[in-house]
Amino acid sequence: MENYRLEHDTMGEIYVPAQCRWGAQTQRSKENFKIGGQRQPREIIYAFAFLKEACARANAYFGKLTSSQEAAICRACEEIRDGRWDEEFPLVVWQTGSGTQTNMNVNEVIAHLCADQDVPLHPNDQVNCSQSSNDTFPSALHIAAVLAVTKDVLPAARRLEHTFAALEKKYPDLIRIGRTHLQDATPLRFAQEVSGWKELIAAPCRMLEMSLTELRRLAIGGTAVGTGLNAPAGFDRRVCEELSRLTGTEFLPDANKFHALTSKDALVFAHGALKALACNLMKIANDIRFEASGPRCGMGELHIPENEPGSSIMPGKVNPTQCEAMTMVAVQIMGNDTAITVAASQGNFQLNVFLPVSAYNFLRSARLLADAMESFRVHCAEGIVPDETRMTENLNNSLMLVTCLTPRIGYEKAAQCAKKALREGTTLKEAVLALGYLDEAAYDEAVQPEKMV
C-alpha cells in the first residue's frame, strides 16, 4: 500500500502510515478504540518520557542495556519531552484500563527514534526492559500528578494568594457591614474579609502539599503483579534516584508494590485537596460577583474590571465573566472528583484497571485550576476596587449595629429597636431614642463601628 509500511507484533502484521513513528500495537489501539477523541494527556506522555529515561539509566547501571542503547533512549525521551513528537501519541483515554497501549505507544516511538540514531531496539525487550505496563502507567500517573501540582497548581494559587494579600494591605481601615445567611450582620473590616479569601487559597494549598508525600511513591519495580518479576533487585530505588535528578523533585519507590499496583488512594487524597481548593474558589468568586452586583440595583460595594460586553441585546451591560468561568471550573472539578473516586474503588485483585480515566480527570482538574486561577487573578482580582461610599452608606444604614447595644439595654430591647426601625423606615438611632432606651450621647458613644471589628 502506498504511503504505508508493514509493522508486526505477536498478533501478526499490520499497515502503519509510513510517516509515523509508532508501531503495530499503537496502530491496533488506534483502529480498535475510536471512542470520544480525548487523547491521553500530554502530561502523561511527558511523564512516561521521564520514566523511560530513568529506567534506561537504571537498566544500564544493572548491565541490562549497553551505554549506546541507554544514550539513544535518553536522547529520544528528551525530544519527546521537548514536544517534538506530540503527534506520535494519538491514542485516546478510552482504551485498556491498565494503559498498556499507551505504554507500548511510548515504547514504539522511542524504539523508532532510536532506529533513526542507528541504534536498533525492540520496544519490549529493550525500551520496556525490567518494566510492565502495570507498574509504568501508575508510576507515570504519579509523576504527572506531582509535576502538575508543584509546577502549575501551587504557583498559580500562590500568585492569587499574594494578590489578595496586597488588596488586604491596601485597605486596612475600611469598614463594611457583614452578612450572614444573606442578611445584614455585624461590621468587619474589608481587609478582614479579604484575609479570609487569602486563607481560602492558602489552606487547601497546605493540604495539597501534604498529599504529595504519598504521590511521590511509585509503583515502578513491581512489574506485572507486584512481585518484581524480570526486574533486578534495587531497580525501583535506582529509577527513583534518576527520576528525582531528572525532574528536580523527589520520587521514592513504594515499599509495598501490591498496594501500589492496585490502589489509587494517593490520587483520591490529592484530588480531594484540589476539590477543596475548587470549593473555596467557588466561594470567593460568588462573594465577589454578588458584592459587585449592580451597578445600581445590586450590592455595588465592589468594582471589578470591565473586560468585554456582557449582553447581545442590552447595551452597556457588563458581567462578572471571570467569576462565572471560575465557578464553572469548580463544578467540573467536583465532577472529576466523583469519577476518580469511583475509579479508585475498582482495584480488583492485583491491578486497578481504571488508570487512564483517573489520569485524564486528575490532570484536567490540575490544568483547569491553574489556568482559571491565573485568569481570575489577572483579569479580575488584581483590578478589584471597593466602593467606599457605598460600603459606608450600607454600614450606617444597617440595623445590625444594634448588636453592640445588647450589653447596655439587653437582647429583647435591642431587638425591639431594630424591628421598630425596620417597620417604620427610620434609622436605628431614631428608634432607640424614640423608645427612650438611651439618650443621643449614650447612643453615639456605644455605636461606633470601628470598635466593633
8, 68, 311, 345: the catalytic one is 311
313: left (phi over 0), alpha (psi -120 to 50) or beta: alpha
Per-residue confidence (pLDDT) for residue 347, from 0 to 100: 83
Does the residue 408 lie in any domain? yes
DSSP 212-281: HHHHTEE-TT-TTTSS-TTS-TTHHHHHHHHHHHHHSS--EE-S-HHHHHH--HHHHHHHHHHHHHHHHH
Q: What is the pTM assigned to this prediction?
A: 0.96
How many angstroms separate the most distant Cα atoms in the chain? 101
Q: What does the alpha-carbon distance between residue 366 and residue 369 come to, in Å, rounded to a whole number? A: 5
| Rounded distance between C-alpha atoms, residue 174 and residue 194, angstroms | 11
Q: Are residues 362 and 377 in the same domain?
A: yes
CA distance 310 to 317: 5
| pLDDT, averaged across the chain | 97
| Those residues with Cβ within 8 angstroms of residue 32's Cβ, 6 or more apart along the chain or in another chain | none
Residue where a domain stops, chosen among 79, 108, 129:
129
Does one domain contain both 327 and 447? Answer: no
- Which domain range does residue 110 map to? 4-129
Inside any domain, residue 158: yes
Specify the 3-state DSSP secondary structure of 38.
coil
Q: Are residues 244 and 309 in the same domain?
A: yes
Number of domains observed in the structure of the chain: 3
Whether residues 336 and 187 share a domain: the answer is yes
Is 181 designated active site?
Answer: yes
Q: Is 311 annotated in the active site?
A: yes
Whether 153 maps to a domain, the answer reads: yes
| 89 contacts 105 by C-beta, under 8 angstroms | yes
Residues 222, 264 within the same domain: yes
| Domain membership flag for residue 259 | yes
Return the closest-CA partner of residue 372 out of 326, 333, 416: 326
Q: What is the pLDDT of residue 441?
A: 94
3-state secondary structure of 447: coil
Query: What CATH number should be reported for the domain holding residue 102?
Result: 1.10.275.10
Per-residue pLDDT of 356-373, as tens digits, reads: 999 999 999 999 999 999
| Same-domain pairing of 239 and 381 | yes
DSSP per-residue string spanning 100-153: HHHHHHHHHHHHHHHHHTT----IIIIITTT--HHHHHHHHHHHHHHHHIIIII
Are residues 440 and 351 part of one domain?
no
What CATH number is attached to the domain comprising 377? 1.20.200.10
Q: Note whether 192 and 225 are same-domain residues.
A: yes
Between 133-148 and 100-116, two packed helices, what is the crossing angle to 10 degrees?
90
Is the same domain home to 362 and 403?
A: no
Length of the chain: 453
Same domain, 65 and 181: no
Query: For residue 124, is it within any domain?
Result: yes
Q: Does one domain contain both 91 and 207?
A: no
Query: pLDDT-derived band of residue 2, with 50, 70 and 90 as boundaries?
Result: confident
Last residue of a domain, one of 129, 145, 160: 129
Give mean pLDDT, residues 123-139: 98
Over residues 13-24, mean pLDDT? 97
Q: Is residue 393 assigned to a domain? A: no
Residue scoring higher pLDDT (2 or 226):
226
Same domain, 94 and 11: yes
Cα(316)–Cα(214) distance, rounded to whole angstroms? 51
Q: Is residue 336 part of a domain?
A: yes
For residue 235, tell me if it sits in a domain. yes
Q: Which of 98, 181, 244, 345 is catalytic?
A: 181
Last residue of some domain: 90, 105, 129? 129
Answer whether residue 167 shows pLDDT above 80. yes
CATH code where residue 414 lies: 1.10.40.30
Alpha helix positions (H), 263-354: 265-291, 321-344
